[in-house]
Structure 1
Amino acid sequence: MNILIKSAKIIDEGNSSLHLKKKDIWIKNGRIEKIADKIVPKGQNKVIEHKDLHVSAGWLDTGVSFGEPGYEDRETIENGLLTAAKSGFTDVILNPDTYPVPDSSSDIIFLKNAAKDSTTSLHPLGALTVKSENEDLAELFDMKKSGAVGFYDYKKPINNSNLLKIALQYAQNFDGLVFSYPLDKNIAGKGIVNEGSVSTRLGLKGMPAMAEELQIARDIFVLQYTGGKLHIPTISTANSVKLIADAKKKKLDITCSVAIHNLVFTDNKLESFDSKFKVKPPLREKADIKALIGGLKSGTIDYVTTDHRPMNIEFKELEFDNASYGTIGLESAFGILNRILDTKLTISLLTKGRSRFGIPEVKIKEGANANFTLFEPKTTTQFKKENINSRSKNSMFIDEELKGSVVGIITENDIQIN
């Protein structure tokens, strides 16, 4: 299919000749054939025109969960990737949040094959340990060869410091990226929400910020000893930002991410005991949100993620103590980020991360493969349940104001226009 994008403002800070310029872009057989002020192409083309149309490199989410295999009732790979495409993401990194967890090369191959015909590309993470049981390392090298972009026991901390040491040392042999979830289980105890005045008032068991921060401090000490590549997913506290900033000053190879909902909501949302707001790490306080946003602006926090986790209703519509953790966030991601940050920073964050995970970089230039997200940045709307494309509807963003909207994506594989 040949595609002509008409009069789109290009957002590409790395290319001063095109950045913030309005151009026509002609895509022929999945490649950028021409970029010019005005293009009148030959032959039949699909023309994309939209008021205040903007185009950037395709967006990447560094941590989503679907369900397949094992939890297809929550979400399938096919529909999950369609949801990602409609939400503006050309690439997603898939958490090993399935049953069984992907801890072998054949599991990674299954996930890659299940996604091969989708417009959005799927990049799976392999489990760090066998069955994510935190005991023996999984087949890291074989999974890397099969397409795993990192190794993570999803939301499960590495309790054994020596296991983290061995993982970091071993993964250096093949440039592997080790994930370490920031939680000291002994300090967290049976806590399910942020420890503070809200948890005390509501009678909910608190999870202190220190439980996250102690684990990050330990991980940094281990990384300083071993070397290697470490990623800390979904930090949530002000002191965590400081710890990572200090580690980066020491030139350690460490990156981290923050979940979008931890940039928006505080634990005051728990007053209604609505389990949509039960997430891990928990919603924290205003001072934490301020520090997290500051960390994004300074570059201390590398990536934002939706931490998208579909969960069927029977696991969320329970007493708060018994409800499962997680919220979906793909559909609302751009509109929420663009509301709380400026558009420039929003797009910068959504397009970052490919090199860290060994995914080819995206270039907006003639001759390059097409990998675009199309959007408009100004219209305000209210996010409603009917805007959800996911099979599960557990979104904490329902009734929130969104700024901007996704027009669609174009990749060398296909096109998705909303």
Structure 2
Amino acid sequence: MNLIFKNATIIDKNSKFNNQAVDIKVENGVITKIGKDIAEEANFDIIQLDNLHISRGWFDSSVNFGEPGYEDRETIKNGLNVAARSGFTDVALQPNANPVIDNQADVSFVLSKARNAATSLHPIGALTKGSEGLDIAELYDMQNAGAVAFGDYNKDLADANLLKIALQYVQDFDGLVIAYAQDSKIKGKGVVHEGIVSTRLGLKGIPALAEELQIARNLFLLEYTGGKMHIPTVSTEKSVQLIREAKAKGLNVTCSVSVHHLVLTDEVLKDFDTRYKVTPPLRPDAIRKALIDGVLDGTIDIITSDHNPLDIEQKKMEFDLAKNGTVGLETAFGALMNVLPADVIIEKLTGGKKIFKVEDHAIEENAKASFTLFTTKGNHTFTKANILSKSKNSAFLGQELKGKAYGIYNNGKLIINE
């Protein structure tokens, strides 16, 4: 497939073409020319889109697709199509399946399901067998099979010694440990952030301390062992400060924040709508603003959709009983454009590749063509008809989004929304 992308504004702070509108010529999956007014040729398709912007391919560090075991929620094939149409060239797949992805064969299986897709899939292996927090899983074998990191999705590791051993063990092969932070004993039976809203609604609260105490413990362990730790979906001001201080001390720690924690607050819970039941829970506006500050000052390295499809049987029930999670790939960029500048969004949607050792490709001549196509203009209200996922549990239904992803060019394939 030979293509010429016309009048595309490149957003890439490391490119000499940053913020310039140029044409991009792609031959057999390679960028062969970048410049003004590239002449049209007989064997090339011309791609012209309104207010076209192009950046390095976006990477999502936390998605769930259900397969194997929960194909009713989502399949790998459709999930990767959703990711492509949402602007993501690469996604890291959580091990939250049935069975849990905790061995070499499971990693090979999900990779086989993703073969020939436009969006590249990068499996995260479970840190413990069955994600039960009792025994270390087959980390080295999984990395050899293609796993990019190890963590138990949305499960805290109560056994501090087990995390210590894992951090020490993975250093032999430069592995990355993902340490979800929520003390289950302090969380108790809480379902929302402990504060004014939980009191008003009569819902059991989760103290911010449940996250912060676990992060403090995990950072102490990291300081003792060395190695690399990634803390996913941080959600409190104190959490950000703890990580900021750890980075200043030279610890090899990174972290992410979810789109919904940057955009929404716990005020949306007023109608007990379970679409807003997520983990960590949504917080008050002052904390939301502190998280944005953490993004802007570089403490927070990655923004993730934390995409988690759940079918209606798991969401349409009493608030206390409903499962945590929201789909988020389709809305990630448009929601973020309401709270952050475009260049910051692109930086946080691409910077995670280095952390997870995912191949990254510059937008320059003779480089592999792997990029996201999007526009920063136009507002639209997100409706159920806009959801591409099999499950419809979006926390952004009815929200006004700004700009949108057109699609991607990756792995020699062009995917553009109709």
Q: Same fold (TM over 0.5)?
A: yes
Amino acid in the other structure paired with 1:32: I
Q: Is the 1:105–1:142 contact (alpha carbons within 8 Å) kept by the matching residues of 2? A: yes
The equivalent of 1:164 in structure 2 is 163
Amino acid in the other structure paired with 2:9: K
The equivalent of 2:319 in structure 1 is 320
How far 1:219 moved relative to its partner? Answer: 0.3
The equivalent of 1:147 in structure 2 is 146
The equivalent of 1:415 in structure 2 is 414
Determine helix, strand or coil for the equivalent of 2:186: helix
TM-score (norm 2): 0.99
How far 1:412 moved relative to its partner? Answer: 2.7
The equivalent of 1:355 in structure 2 is 354
The equivalent of 2:273 in structure 1 is 274
The equivalent of 1:8 in structure 2 is 8
Tell me, in whole angstroms, the C-alpha distance in 2 between the residues paired with 1:355 and 1:384.
34
Matches within 5 A, 1:1-150: 1-15=1-15, 17-150=16-149
How far 1:257 moved relative to its partner? Answer: 0.4
Q: Is the 1:118–1:413 contact (alpha carbons within 8 Å) kept by the matching residues of 2? A: no
How far 1:42 moved relative to its partner? Answer: 3.5
How far 1:338 moved relative to its partner? Answer: 1.1
What's the % identity of the aligned pairs? 53
Which deviates further from its counterpart, 34-43 or 289-298? 34-43
Amino acid in the other structure paired with 2:226: G
Q: Is the 2:40–2:46 contact (alpha carbons within 8 Å) kept by the matching residues of 1? A: no
Write out per-residue CA displacement over residues 254-291 of structure 1, whole angstroms, 9 at most, x where no aligned residue: 00000110111111111100000000000011111011
Runs of 4+ in 1 over 6 A off after TM superposition: none
Q: Is the 2:235–2:291 contact (alpha carbons within 8 Å) kept by the matching residues of 1? A: yes
Q: Is the 1:10–1:18 contact (alpha carbons within 8 Å) kept by the matching residues of 2? A: yes
Q: Where do 5+ consecutive residues of structure 2 fail to align?
A: none
Determine helix, strand or coil for the equivalent of 1:148: coil
Determine helix, strand or coil for the equivalent of 2:355: coil
Alignment pair present for 1:234 and 2:233: yes
Which deviates further from its counterpart, 121-130 or 339-348? 339-348
Determine helix, strand or coil for the equivalent of 2:247: helix
The equivalent of 1:263 in structure 2 is 262
Which deviates further from its counterpart, 85-94 or 184-193? 184-193
Tell me, in whole angstroms, the C-alpha distance in 1 between the residues paired with 2:215 and 2:45.
50
Write out per-residue CA displacement over residues 4-62 of structure 1, whole angstroms, 9 at most, x where no aligned residue: 100111111002x2111111111111111111112125431121101211111111111
Amino acid in the other structure paired with 1:4: I
Q: Is the 1:128–1:178 contact (alpha carbons within 8 Å) kept by the matching residues of 2? A: yes
Give the RMSD, CA atoms, in angstroms. 0.8
The equivalent of 2:187 in structure 1 is 188
Determine helix, strand or coil for the equivalent of 1:141: helix
Determine helix, strand or coil for the equivalent of 2:61: strand
Determine helix, strand or coil for the equivalent of 1:354: helix
Tell me, in whole angstroms, the C-alpha distance in 2 between the residues paired with 1:342 and 1:12.
13
Determine helix, strand or coil for the equivalent of 1:415: strand
Q: Is the 1:31–1:412 contact (alpha carbons within 8 Å) kept by the matching residues of 2? A: no
Determine helix, strand or coil for the equivalent of 1:243: helix
Tell me, in whole angstroms, the C-alpha distance in 1 between the residues paired with 2:214 and 2:363.
40
Amino acid in the other structure paired with 1:187: I
TM-score (norm 1): 0.99
Determine helix, strand or coil for the equivalent of 1:66: coil
Tell me, in whole angstroms, the C-alpha distance in 2 between the residues paired with 1:51 and 1:307.
29
Q: Where do 5+ consecutive residues of structure 1 fail to align?
A: none
